[in-house]
Every structure is written in structure tokens, then in C-alpha cells.
């Protein structure tokens, strides 16, 4: 059997590990070991030990340890600006419906701790010199293969979320058995026992993977995508019958998602940007049309995201992006761009551009970015020049209108909108004297 290469630990990790080993056993486990051995950049570094929770608090008292999981024997310390978790060896017992209620039993045996873990590539411990691991772990790391520790059925019954974690690891860890979902197919129904919050969080990690196309396809093949988003069913193999499209609707959506960065708002917007097309489909002279589909998609997206219990900010931003993803035309100019900024906010404009670009790439070639480029230029000029875009940016306000004798609330609002139009046409008009003159002129119109 091939040997695992030795991991070169960072100074922080080496110090913490050696500190633990002064008093007992100490190992680095989990993602740090796995990713290092798979040739990926590790993120968090977790430690396990046979030392008691109380002993860990005593050893690391100078680091002001946080007691983040006494029931699980876990403390968190901050060393040189980085957080680390240290836990006592444990084995899980019982098979609850929700992992958060999992019972644990502490042990002094590192192998028992490793055997409770989900996948063989996660069940490797490193003490700075030597490794401890479960059966098949070495060959699976060498072959970049994903496999459950022991019986898949037992690991999944312990926590059905492991079905979704299996998909996430397939698409995020550069593994060779990316299309091997046979291990999890019999247990897909168990996912329905999970809370929506846990499913949502894992779903988010899956769809923000670099390989978004494979991520969506695996969610689709397992039925998880349609369980979470039943509205997806109507997009499958949907022939758009439109000269601008050479892909079915579901494949178009996958290509948009694959063409955009892994930001959660952008990926959700990409996944749902055309979800309303089947409902707005009409056929004229053999050509498919989808009038108003962006608004219908935004309405459906809001329902879907609220059902999945996403944060209100995410729901708002995603629906704004979807509702406006067609808002670029050959007549795009500063005035048009300012209205768009007022509608969705400065901060969402760069994301909207990315969604528009990804959408265009997923159309039938050739790709025309003329209108989008004009919109981008207008946006960056507006930002660089700090140009006014809304009524609140005007140098006059309602009180100024009242002083001119425009006293009715409706008339004040109409006048300010009129003045904003003048400023959108030419930012130089945002001058107090000029705007008051325009307001005097408009007052005559109001009286007529």
C-alpha cells in the first residue's frame, strides 16, 4: 500500500498541536488533513485529543477559550488572529431525525473517533509525524475517491444530511468518481426528514461550487433539486423554440450558472432567472415568446427563497436581479442607467451586469454585448462623477416647493419628479436657482 505524504504544518498549527501533546494525545483531523493530501488549499484546522474538556480549558486559558460545545467536548481558541477548534475524542450514538439532537459518548480511542466520521477521506488523523486512518482511507485519498466510512446506510441514518454532503464533496474536492451517486440513491427519501434550514445551508454550498453545472445536474439526478424547488420540473427539456436559443431551458439555466462566479446571490439568481418562462410561453408563427417572464420569474423566485428560509436581504437582492436581468437595450444611456440604479441600488449593479453577461453567453452565438457595454460605461461614469440619480439627490426639496406656493402633496411629488427628469437629462441642472426656475414653470402647468 502506498504511503501518505507528510503534511508540512504551519507554525500556528504546529504550536497548538505540540501544546496539546505535552499533556496527552493530539491529532489534526478533518478538512485540513484531507485537503492537504488532495492537493487543495486547506481552510480550517481542527484538533482532537484524549484530554478532557476541563483540561483543555485549563491548558489554553491564556487564549481565552470559548466554550462552544460542552456537550460535544469542543472549545475554540484564537491564536494569532485565527480561530481553531479542539475537541475530545467521541463516538456518536443513537440515530435521531435531526443531527442537532445527536447523542455523543466520549472515548479515549482515536480510532473510535475516526470511525464515526462520514467519509473515508475525512477519517484521517495526523499527529505531526504519523497518520491514523480507517479502512480504505489511504486508497481513497490516493485515487481521489469518495466513499462512506463502513456501511453507507449506517452513516446516512446517523445524519441524512450526509446525502447532500456527498454531492457537495463530489463537486468541490476535485474527485474522480464525480458521477458516482449509486451509494446515496437508496437513501434520498431520508433527506425529507431534515429541517429546511439545514438543507438550505448545504444546498447553498453545493450550488456555489466552481463546477456549478455538475452541481445542479447531481441535485437534479438525485431528485433533491425538485424536492426543494418543484417549479424546476417545468424547465426540464423545455424546448424554447426561439432563434436566439439553441439549448433547452434547463440546459440554458445550467450554462448561465456555470458562467457566473460562485456568489450565493448570483448563483441563486442564475438558477431562478428563467424559472417563470414556462408560465409565460406563447407561440407565434412557430417562434416561442416569453413576454414578462422576468417579472414572473422574480415572483416565483421570491416564493421559492422564502420557502427555503433564505435571509430577507438575499431574497430581496436575488429577486431584484431577476426582475431586471433583461433591462439593457441598444438605447441604454445615462438617464436609463440612473433609473435602473434607483430601482435596484448601486451595490447590485455590478452583480446585474454579471448576470446579464452570463445570460448572454448561454444564448445562441454570436454574442452581442454592445448594449451591456454601453450600460456599464454609463454606470461607471455616473459613479465616478457622483451624479444624482434620485429625488433625495436634488439640491431642492418639498419645503422649497411649498415656499413657491406648491402646497398640495400630490403636486409637490409631481414637481420633484419633473425636476429629477431634468437632472437625469443633464446633471448640471442640479443647481438650486435652475431647479427653482423649472419649478416655477411647472407650477403654471399644474394650474392649467
CATH architecture of 11-143: 2-Layer Sandwich (3.30)
The burial of 75, by beta-carbon neighbours within 10 Å (0-12 exposed, 13-18 middle, 19 or more buried), is given as: buried
Contact of 293 with 249, CB cutoff 8 Å: no
| Strand 46-49 relative to strand 82-88, pairing | parallel
In total, the chain counts a number of residues equal to: 448
Closest CA to 33 of 126, 95, 104: 126
pLDDT at 330: 67
- The residues, ordered by sequence, that sit 6+ positions from 27 with a Cβ below 8 Å of its Cβ are 17, 47, 48, 49, 110, 125, 126, 127, 132
What the block records as the C-alpha cell of 429 is: 441642472
Q: Quick one: average pLDDT of 207-222? A: 96
Contact of 161 with 124, CB cutoff 8 Å: no
Q: Quick one: average pLDDT of 209-220? A: 96
- Of 88-97, 142-151, 299-308, 419-428, minimum mean pLDDT range: 88-97
The burial of 94, by beta-carbon neighbours within 10 Å (0-12 exposed, 13-18 middle, 19 or more buried), is given as: exposed
pLDDT digits (tens, 9 = 90+) for 371-404: 999 999 999 999 999 899 889 999 999 999 999 9
- Beta-carbon count within 10 A of 261 CB: 13
pLDDT at 73: 87
Alpha carbon distance 269, 261 (integer Å): 11
- Of 5-9, 34-38, 55-59, minimum mean pLDDT range: 5-9
C-alpha neighbours within 13 Å on the C-beta side of residue 318: 28
Backbone angles phi, psi at 93, to 5 degrees: -135, 155
Please provide the average confidence, as pLDDT, over all residues in the chain: 93
Closest CA to 17 of 54, 51, 67, 42: 51
- Domains of the chain, by residue range, sit at 11-143, 233-385, 391-447
pLDDT digits (tens, 9 = 90+) for 71-124: 888 999 999 999 999 999 998 755 555 555 567 789 999 999 999 999 999 999
The yes-or-no verdict on residue 155 having pLDDT over 90 is: yes
Query: Is 233-385 in the same CATH topology as 11-143?
Result: no
Instruction: Give residue 425's pLDDT band: very low, low, confident or very high (50, 70, 90).
Output: confident
pLDDT at 332: 79
pLDDT at 99: 53
Share of the chain above pLDDT 90, in %: 85
pLDDT at 96: 53
- CATH 1.10.3470 matches 233-385: no
Q: Highest mean pLDDT: which of 13-27, 338-352, 420-434?
A: 13-27
Amino acid at each position: 500500500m502506498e504511503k501518505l505524504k507528510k503534511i508540512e504544518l504551519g507554525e500556528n498549527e504546529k504550536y497548538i498541536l505540540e501544546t496539546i501533546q505535552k499533556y496527552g494525545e493530539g491529532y489534526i483531523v478533518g478538512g485540513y488533513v484531507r485537503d492537504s493530501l488532495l492537493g487543495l488549499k486547506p481552510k480550517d484546522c481542527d484538533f482532537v485529543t484524549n484530554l478532557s474538556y476541563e483540561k483543555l480549558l485549563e491548558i489554553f486559558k491564556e487564549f481565552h477559550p470559548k466554550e462552544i460545545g460542552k456537550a460535544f467536548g469542543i472549545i475554540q481558541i484564537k491564536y494569532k488572529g485565527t480561530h481553531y477548534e479542539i475537541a475530545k475524542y467521541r463516538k456518536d450514538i443513537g440515530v435521531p431525525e435531526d443531527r442537532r439532537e445527536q447523542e455523543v459518548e466520549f472515548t479515549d480511542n482515536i480510532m473510535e473517533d475516526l470511525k464515526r466520521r462520514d467519509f473515508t477521506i475525512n477519517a484521517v488523523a495526523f499527529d505531526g509525524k504519523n497518520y491514523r486512518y480507517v479502512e480504505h482511507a489511504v486508497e481513497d485519498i490516493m485515487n481521489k475517491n469518495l466513499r462512506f466510512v463502513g456501511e453507507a446506510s449506517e452513516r446516512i441514518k446517523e445524519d441524512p444530511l450526509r446525502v447532500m454532503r456527498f454531492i457537495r464533496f463530489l463537486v468541490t474536492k476535485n474527485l474522480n468518481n464525480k458521477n458516482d451517486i449509486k451509494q446515496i440513491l437508496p437513501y434520498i427519501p431520508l433527506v425529507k426528514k431534515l429541517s429546511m434550514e439545514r438543507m438550505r445551508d448545504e444546498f447553498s454550498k453545493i450550488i456555489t461550487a466552481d463546477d456549478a453545472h455538475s452541481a445542479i445536474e447531481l441535485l437534479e439526478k438525485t431528485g433533491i433539486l425538485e424536492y426543494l424547488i418543484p417549479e424546476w420540473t417545468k424547465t426540464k427539456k423545455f424546448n424554447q423554440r426561439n432563434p436566439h436559443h439553441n439549448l433547452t431551458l434547463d440546459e440554458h439555466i445550467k450554462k448561465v450558472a456555470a458562467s457566473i462566479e460562485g456568489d450565493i446571490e448570483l448563483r441563486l439568481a442564475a438558477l431562478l432567472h428563467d424559472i417563470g418562462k414556462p408560465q409565460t410561453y406563447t407561440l407565434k408563427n412557430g417562434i416561442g415568446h416569453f413576454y414578462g417572464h422576468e417579472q414572473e420569474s422574480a415572483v416565483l423566485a421570491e416564493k421559492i427563497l422564502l420557502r427555503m428560509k433564505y435571509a430577507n436581504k438575499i431574497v430581496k437582492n436575488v429577486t431584484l436581479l431577476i426582475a431586471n436581468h433583461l433591462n439593457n437595450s441598444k438605447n441604454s444611456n445615462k438617464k436609463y442607467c440612473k433609473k435602473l440604479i434607483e430601482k435596484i441600488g448601486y451595490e447590485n449593479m455590478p452583480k446585474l451586469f454579471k448576470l446579464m453577461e452570463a445570460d448572454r453567453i448561454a444564448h445562441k452565438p454570436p454574442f452581442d454585448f454592445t448594449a451591456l457595454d454601453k450600460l456599464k460605461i454609463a454606470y461607471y461614469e455616473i459613479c465616478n462623477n457622483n451624479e444624482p440619480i434620485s429625488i433625495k439627490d436634488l439640491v431642492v426639496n418639498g419645503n422649497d416647493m411649498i415656499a413657491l406656493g406648491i402646497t398640495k402633496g400630490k403636486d409637490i411629488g409631481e414637481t420633484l419628479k419633473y425636476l429629477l427628469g431634468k437632472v437625469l437629462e443633464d446633471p448640471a441642472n442640479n443647481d438650486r436657482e435652475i431647479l427653482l426656475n423649472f419649478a416655477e414653470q411647472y407650477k403654471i402647468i399644474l394650474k392649467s
